[in-house]
Amino acid sequence: MNIIFMGTPDFAVPCLQKLHDMGQNVVGVFSQPDKPKGRHGVLTAPPVKQLALSLGYSVFQPASLKTGEAADIISSLNPDLIVVTAYGKILPGNILEMPKFGCVNIHASLLPNLRGAAPIQWSIINGLSVTGVTAMQMDEGLDTGDIILQKECVIDIDDNSETLFEKLSVLGAKALEDAIHLIERGEVKRKKQDDKNSSYAPVLSKDNSIIDWSLTALQVHNLIRGLNPWPGAVSFIDGKKIKIIKACLSQAAGGKPGQIMEKNKKLVVSCGDGQCIEILSIQPENKKVMETSAFLNGTSFTDGCFQN
């Protein structure tokens, strides 16, 4: 098959690599435009573009797919299938209809659960124990197309969004491989999504970062994991902002929300259910990430409570 691949970040890289390893005829790769990166704003190609160029594929980076120019490029490539994985742009109806076999999206949740831009982070924040990937036939809705197949993945209690990204990106590539085999054999049996059971995973921002210590210890733990590495869970003590990088559930109990129960060799904080978390690593404002023990060695608290 002639396949166009559309993807941008690291998550999409294994899917493009899988198409190459399968020997599929990738006639073009679409990725988001290069963006400035780092303190010096060096213009940097996204990971998918970097892999595509190393594999010898033609790369296209239109600012929009809604222009006639973008549609003309896609039409000229004569795709039998378009594969989309974390591309970051909405495909208009005229492009969805171009390929013989339509457009297939690899989405990082078990649809209809967690439709939207940040399913991996929200699966952890919401306290799910199982998530997965969905190979979906795309339509003009937001992750509403028919399901081709799904693969499950257990979320470990110590997973953060980075480690879960890695697991699901590999699983997504396997789901894509299986979906393509079904398409090639004409064995696809699509399943409509039940909209009544849908949930959403909106884009995360720094507004999601502030820890609400009135939540249960497990909810606070999940928030810290889900927001690691970005945008990070933050709290305040003595008026200073602190980013909490890693924590675990503690056996300690008692205290009011945000109260520091221990601050000698450990930093243990009480939550809204009277249970506690132990903060393992931390990043004070304008400083590097450090182990909590190192932080405690050079810090004294006037206030004995974290504030929301």
Per-residue pLDDT reduced to its tens digit, 36-50 = 988 889 999 999 999
Q: In 3D, which of 95, 86, 85 has the Cα closest to residue 65?
A: 95
What is residue 280's predicted lDDT score, i.e. its pLDDT? 97
305 in a structural domain: no
Pair 156, 129: CB distance under 8 Å = no
Asked if 12 and 142 sit in the same domain, the reply is: yes
Asked if 262 and 188 sit in the same domain, the reply is: no
Q: The CATH number of the domain where 215 resides is what? A: 3.10.25.10
Asked if 168 and 107 sit in the same domain, the reply is: yes
24 in a structural domain: yes
What is residue 301's predicted lDDT score, i.e. its pLDDT? 82
Residue 154 CB partners (closer than 8 Å, separation 6+): 129, 130
What is residue 298's predicted lDDT score, i.e. its pLDDT? 83
Asked if 52 and 154 sit in the same domain, the reply is: yes
Which of 170, 197, 224 represents a domain boundary (last residue)?
A: 197
Per-residue pLDDT reduced to its tens digit, 136-169 = 999 999 999 999 999 999 999 999 999 999 999 9
Per-residue pLDDT reduced to its tens digit, 203-262 = 999 899 999 999 999 999 999 999 999 999 999 999 999 999 999 999 999 999 999 999
Q: For the residues 94-116, what does the mean pLDDT come to?
A: 98
What is residue 167's predicted lDDT score, i.e. its pLDDT? 98
Asked if 128 and 225 sit in the same domain, the reply is: no
Domain count, the chain: 2
Q: How many CA atoms lie within 13 A of 216 on its CB side?
A: 6
Q: Angle, to 10 degrees, between the axis of helix 13-21 and the axis of helix 47-54?
A: 20
304 in a structural domain: no
143 in a structural domain: yes
State percent of the chain over pLDDT 90. Answer: 94
Asked if 217 and 192 sit in the same domain, the reply is: no
Asked if 27 and 176 sit in the same domain, the reply is: yes
| Least confident among 38-42, 67-71, 105-109, 233-237 | 38-42
Residue 178 burial (CB < 10 Å; 0-12/13-18/19+)? middle
Asked if 281 and 182 sit in the same domain, the reply is: no
Residue 81: C-alpha distances to residues 55, 74, 114, 155, 178 (Å): 19, 11, 25, 32, 14
Which amino acid type is present at position 3? I
Q: For the residues 258-269, what does the mean pLDDT come to?
A: 94
pTM of the full structure: 0.95
Is the pLDDT score of 120 beyond 90? yes
Residue 274: C-alpha distances to residues 213, 260, 270, 271 (Å): 10, 12, 6, 6
What is residue 39's predicted lDDT score, i.e. its pLDDT? 82
**Mean pLDDT score across all residues of the chain:** 96
243 in a structural domain: yes
Place 299 in a pLDDT band, splitting at 50, 70 and 90: confident
Asked if 158 and 21 sit in the same domain, the reply is: yes
Asked if 246 and 158 sit in the same domain, the reply is: no
| Least confident among 65-69, 77-81, 295-299 | 295-299
User: Which range marks the domain in which residue 239 is found?
Assistant: 206-297
